[in-house]
Structure 1
Amino acid sequence: MPHEPQPQPLDELDAEAVRTWSSLALAALGRAREDIDAINVYPVADADTGTNLYLTAESADRALDEAFGKAPGSTPDVTDATPPTSLAQAVRAYAYGALVGARGNSGTILAQLLRGVADVLGGEPAGPGGREPGRLLAQALTRAAEEAYGAVAHPVEGTMLTVAAAAARAGEAAGSAAGTAADVARAAYDAARAALAETPGQLAALGRAGVVDAGGCGLVAVLGALWQALSGQEPAAEPVRGRAVPVPQTPEPCAQEEGPAYEVVYLLEASEAAVGELRERLDGLGDSLVVVGGEGLWNVHVHVDDPGAAVEAGVVAGRPYRIRITHFGDERRRARGPRAQRAVVAVVPGEGLAGLCGEAGATTVLVRPGQAPAVAELVDAIRRAHAREVVLLPGGAELRAIAAAAAERARADGVRVAVVPTRSAVQGLAALAVHDPEASFDEDVVAMTAAAGATRYGELAVAERQSFTSAGICQAGDVLGLIDGDVAVIGPSLAETAVAVLERMLGSGGELVTLVLGPEVPDTLAEHLEAHVQHGHLAVDTVTYRGGRYSAPLLIGVE
């Protein structure tokens, strides 16, 4: 939990006030996280709204700290060593951090709210030489609500949007009455609390569950932190009505129509015109569409049944990265309630593999070739798994240090985490195949580790340039056959190289061959390899999967 400053009343908005607000908001969301998770029934009853808001605020707070330590500028990526001295620099860094770290529907909306605040406070000085701080803050809250509504494809009342709009109206009234910034913040906070209490009567899913909106509850905490930062007064400690009510209260109170099976989130570098077309395309693919950002950088969030199509739409619009695909499974039809006893988190290099592991019950982290996930992404996945015990499958030797760091951070949250040292996605599949949640944690980890270790792994790749390898000199365009991470074969084609790799791998025996085909590889290659195995190794079975976008041309596993 971050250190909570002891704010003193401030006469004007400045960078330090934003920094104090950020620290207090993060602390408030940290305290309320589990309570907010417990009342999360809309748009998906998956008990993660509090966690998503906290992780978004954590990213924003980290970016703000980096900006203070590195330099002024529109983002925290600048390298000047001068700390920011202006309100504009601080709010821009704060909004940027929320944008790049936004999690889930609620976190994405919070990021856009902060962007709206930054659009106003980042464009005009407050206090001497500028507009009155109270009026400026009121305008910022209004812009925030407007931009949040504009970012959601189909706004629904009774959500955090409603709470934001009520806060903005009250803030405008206080600002028009020549109130101070603290007066405006207090009016917005009080109005947000009142609006939150009315949400069960506005949204049927909330009324059936007897709870207030989870996202709105988090926004109330953020606005309370804003008032505290500007006034030095701590908000009342009593919980908002419905805040800690467990879900469900009665059998299946949150029953809702079957919805999309996947949540897809990614950052996108694209023009505003391309994003307009992207919104239309994604709106036709699913629901809960929220696209926030601007100036070339966007955070895209949508619920769909076809995650590949959602990512493909991003590829058409620009450059998507930090792609996260979460499988809801049966969580759409029931609230999570207490943590599960055990879960598996798998890092996978391909959309098809992500779907395959998701169907097997794993929480997945999708990575692109040559890009390693951040420690925070793995920690996020462990938290999303919502379990007391987590088995982490890193899927690559180069990712073991990142996985170990993520496990250490998750253990600080009270989660028991074990890292099974998988060095390839096929080893992860083998480990998942023997995963037994009914066994003891130690027995399960040992069995999964043994299955992964008993699986030799191969991979085919195309050489990009001439280079020296352990199998000799390759030329650009040659097909490289890797076995257990080392180049063992250099061939002219995928088919010939794959056969050579298979023969070497089966030379020491095997019972099952797993083939994972890349997106551009024809089915005929799999048929050719299956026939080869059947002809020369009668006792060996073969299974074939599609790795999907971002997977290697061919992965081979031999158990």
Structure 2
Amino acid sequence: MPDRLDAGSVRRWCAATLAALRREQREIDALNFFPVADSDTGTNLVLTLQAAVEAVAANGQGESVRGESARGESARGVWKRMARGALLGARGNSGMIVSQLLAGAAAALPADEPVRGRALAASLRAAVAAGYAAVAQPVEGTVLSVADAAARGATAADSDDLAVVSAAALRAAALALESTPAQLAAMGLPGVVDAGGRGLVVMLDALDAVVRDDVPLLDALGAPPADPVNEQPALGAQEGWEIQYLLDVPLNGSTGDDHRIAALRTRLTEVGDSVVVACADPDDGGHAVWTVHVHAHDIGPALEAGLVAGRPHQVVVTPLIVTGGLDEHDHSGHSSGGDPDPSAARAVVAVVPGAGLAQLFAAEGAVPVEVAPGTFPTVGELRAAIERSGATEVVLLPNDGAYAAVAEAASAAADADCTVSVLHTRSPVQGIAALAVADGTRPFRNDVVAMAEAAAATRWAEVTVAEEAGLTVVGPCRAGDVLGLVDGDVVAIGADTERVTRDLVDRLLNAGGELVTVVLGSDAAPTLGDALSAHLRARWPFCEVHLFDGGQPRAVVLLGVE
């Protein structure tokens, strides 16, 4: 029986955990009632640990299954690779939390001392702290409660004997798991043990077996892929979306980095729940990589929140289906058996200011709903446009933050046989970006995700003329002043429309961009389009420029940068 954890034992634990979770996958799926009864926790944990195994194997060439590697790699080094792989490949709420528990534990392991009982107990305490820190609104009776009990049990053992501590942690976790039905029942959920907590007990059981030398030799490199999940029609109603992505956040060496992540967590709790934000790479070439998870009714705002903090990528969006039993669906972002037929009639309905933009959107295949200056679209108008499209699947683009509530109401009022997804586009240029990637041949939810990503990746700005004197964030303005706005906030005041527009587009492109969309309004000078095109060719020769005559009122120029 080993008296310490070494690199080989951590590798065996990683492989043994994956094997054990595969065996228990269906049972854990069936237990899944919190935070959403979508019966996929077991599947998500298997996929998360599969990513961990692959990460360990990728850099473990030449390492013995038992003992240290030829390079003298430590248990901490292998555990950190395991945690990083789990973080970058985490699936679902439980997968995200478990990956953060692994990361917290890895960071606390000693780098130059043997990992015996007390070191393992300390790492479990650090794991709990990291897990609670990553979850915006922790709930007791879940995997966090089970992890906390395991850490307290390991600490109470007060021993350097590795087997004594691992057994104490497992015993305390199992007892805590038995208490979760009462805790979850208090929230109005069925009286069953928590699925994520059950998965953690499986992991601790595998660790205890490795410590007792009671598992067969398992080569992580040779581990087969996870068994595919059987696809079947959904058994319940959709309750929103599970949205996950990686987020690259440039580091500026200041507390501004922390403020961006804090603001991201705050915003995500406003648009959804089950928010988990965890750091996967604290400093990878001048930027940090974070993993983000949220349950939300709308995809767009969740992606837009990430765009404010950094660059979202590897987006995975899955419908949350509340079931009465086992509802296993695909989590790769591709269609499952419950998806609508990709050949079903599909349409995009877009709210637009002015006849020129209405013609532009109509030319691109959308059904436009034109609104006059100073007015709002009505629920009846939007519902009529949805019905007029004749489609059974509709993407609704409000193209103005002020119209979002009306769009949501129209979506709720649509006929039962029509699926309507509202993308919270805040400007027509975001709508243009979304419409450009729409593809009616792919499954509906995949199309919605692609359109939401395109809209969220588009920074928008506009140039307008102040109608009256006022105070802005950059100072006072007078009636007739030219205002430059980015994402709805005034950032520039001037007297010359062309100069303000040039300065505004330079400001946007200084932050990066490859495609510039320029939409000229009804009050734009005839020479403005040519002047802007010439400026962009001279100053930003590698940017692609799309110039449109939108004829919109009020906004002299609309700008979008992707």
Identity of paired residues, percent? 40
- 1:263 and 2:242 matched: yes
Aligned twin of 1:446 = none
* 1:154 maps onto 2:149 in alignment: no
Aligned-residue offset at 1:85: 1.8
Aligned counterparts of 1:220 and 1:137: Cα–Cα separation in 2: 16
Distance verdict in 2 for CA 1:477–1:170, change over 3 Å: closer
Aligned to 1:342: 337
Note if contact 2:264-2:305 (Cα within 8 Å) is conserved in structure 1.
yes
Q: Which has the larger radius of gyration?
A: 2
Q: By how many angstroms is 1:346 displaced? A: 10
Cα 1:138–1:31, aligned 2, differ >3 Å: closer, same or farther?
Answer: same
Q: Is the 8 A contact 1:116 1:147 kept in 2?
A: yes
CA 1:70 to 1:288, structure 2 compared with 1: closer, same or farther past 3 Å? Answer: farther
How big is the shift at 1:339? Answer: 7.6
Separation in structure 2 between the aligned mates of residue 360 and residue 53 of structure 1, nearest angstrom: 35
Q: What one-letter code is carried by the residue in structure 1 that aligns with 2:82? A: Y
Q: Deviations over 1:416-447 (max 9, x none)?
A: xxxxxxx99233369999xxxxxxxxxxxxxx
Q: Secondary structure at the match of 1:69?
A: coil
**Contact 2:33–2:189 under 8 Å retained in 1:** no
Deviation at 1:267, TM superposition (A): 0.8
Q: Is the 8 A contact 1:68 1:84 kept in 2?
A: no
TM superposition shift of 1:360 = 7.2
Aligned amino acid, residue 232 of structure 1: D
Cα 1:13/1:337, change in 2 over 3 Å: same
Deviations 1:463-514 (CA, angstroms, capped at 9, x unpaired)? xxxxxxxxxxxxx9999xxxxxxxxxxxx99xxxxxxxxxxxxxxxxxxxxx
Taking structure 1 as the reference length, the TM-score comes to 0.53
Check whether the contact 2:146–2:176 (CA below 8 A) recurs between aligned residues.
yes
Cα distance in structure 2, aligned partners of 1:186 and 1:302: 34
> What is aligned with 1:332?
322
Post-superposition CA distance 1:25-62 (Å, at most 9, x none): 00010000011001100100000000001100110111
Contact 1:69 1:83 in 2 (8 A): no
Q: Which residue is equivalent to 1:125?
A: 112
Q: CA deviation at 1:205?
A: 6.9
Residue 155 of structure 1, CA deviation: 0.9
1:284 matched to 2:245? The reply is no
* Partners of 1:201 and 1:324 in 2: CA distance: 33
CA distance in 2, matches of 1:521, 1:114: 50
Corresponding residue for 1:91? 79
Q: 1:20 to 1:260 in 2, by over 3 A?
A: same
The correspondence for 1:165, drawn from 126, 140, 148, is 148
Contact 1:260 1:286 in 2 (8 A): no
Question: How far off is 1:332 after superposition?
Answer: 3.0
Change (3 A) 1:275 1:361: same
Alignment match of 2:126 (pick from 132, 139, 143): 143
Amino acid at match of 2:106: A
- For the 8 Å contact 1:47–1:337, the answer to whether it is kept is yes
- From the superposition, tell whether residues 285 and 338 of structure 1 become closer, same or farther in structure 2 (CA, over 3 Å): closer
CA distance in 1, matches of 2:444, 2:139: 44
SS of alignment partner, residue 318 of structure 2 = strand
TM-score (norm 2): 0.53
Distance 1:98 1:327 in 2: 22
Please say if residues 40 and 327 of structure 2, whose CA atoms lie closer than 8 Å, have aligned partners that are also in contact.
no
Equivalent in the alignment of 1:110: 98
**CA 1:172–1:259: 2 relative to 1, 3 Å:** farther
Which residue is equivalent to 2:181? 200
CA distance in 2, matches of 1:260, 1:549: 33
Alpha-carbon spacing, 1:108–1:205, altered in 2? closer, same or farther (3 Å): farther
The residue identity in structure 2 corresponding to 1:268 is: L
> 1:343/1:318 Cα in 2 relative to 1: closer, same or farther (>3 Å)?
same
Report deviation, 1:139.
0.1
Partner SS, residue 428 of structure 1? coil
**Structure 2 letter corresponding to 1:67:** N
Match of 1:275 among 258, 261, 283: 261
Q: Secondary structure at the match of 1:209?
A: coil
What amino acid is the match of 1:125? Answer: D
CA contact (8 A) 1:126 1:136 kept: no
Whole-Å separation in 2 of the counterparts to 1:281 and 1:190: 39
* 1:426 equivalent among 440, 465, 470: 440
State the Cα deviation string for residues 282-304 of structure 1 (Å, max 9, x = none).
Answer: 11111111111251121110111
Question: Would you say the 8 A contact 2:516–2:561 is kept in 1?
Answer: no
Task: Check the 8 A contact 1:60/1:98 in 2, yes or no.
Answer: yes
Q: Is the 8 A contact 1:15 1:90 kept in 2?
A: yes
Q: Deviations over 1:187-225 (max 9, x none)?
A: 111111111011001112787523100000000000001
Q: CA RMSD in A?
A: 4.1
Distance 2:212 2:309 in 1: 44
In the alignment, the residues of structure 2 paired with residue 310 and residue 59 of structure 1 have an alpha-carbon distance, to the nearest angstrom, of 24
Secondary structure at the aligned position of 1:427 is classed as coil
C-alpha displacement of 1:325: 1.6
Deviation at 1:182, TM superposition (A): 2.0
Query: Cα offset for 1:184?
Result: 1.0
Question: Which SS does the other structure have where 1:108 is aligned?
Answer: helix
SS in structure 2 of the partner of residue 203 of structure 1: helix
Structure 2 distance, partners of 1:521, 1:219, is 55
What is the SS of the residue equivalent to 1:265?
strand
Contact kept, 8 Å, 2:185 with 2:191, in 1: the verdict is: no
> In 1, are the aligned partners of 2:7 and 2:74 still within 8 Å (CA)?
yes
Aligned to 2:191: 210
Once the two structures are TM-superposed, the CA of residue 82 in structure 1 deviates from its matched residue by: 7.1
| Contact 2:241–2:317, Cα closer than 8 Å, also in 1 | yes
Match of 1:385 in 2: none
Tell me if structure 2 keeps the 8 A contact 1:40–1:49.
Answer: yes
Distance across 1 between alignment mates of 2:27 and 2:262: 36
**Cα shift at 1:13:** 1.4
| Separation (CA, whole Å) in 1 of partners of 2:169 and 2:74 | 24
Please show how residues 334-483 of structure 1 align to structure 2 within 5 Å: 334-337=324-327, 342-344=337-339, 425-428=439-442
Aligned twin of 2:230: none
Measure how far apart 1:327 and its partner are: 2.1
Aligned mates of 2:446, 2:197 — CA distance in 1 = 38
Q: What amino acid sits opposite 1:106 in the alignment?
A: S
Indicate if the aligned counterparts of 2:150 and 2:168 stay in contact, CA closer than 8 A.
yes
- Residue 166 of structure 1 aligns to which amino acid in structure 2? A
Aligned to 2:539: none
CA contact (8 A) 2:515 2:561 kept: no
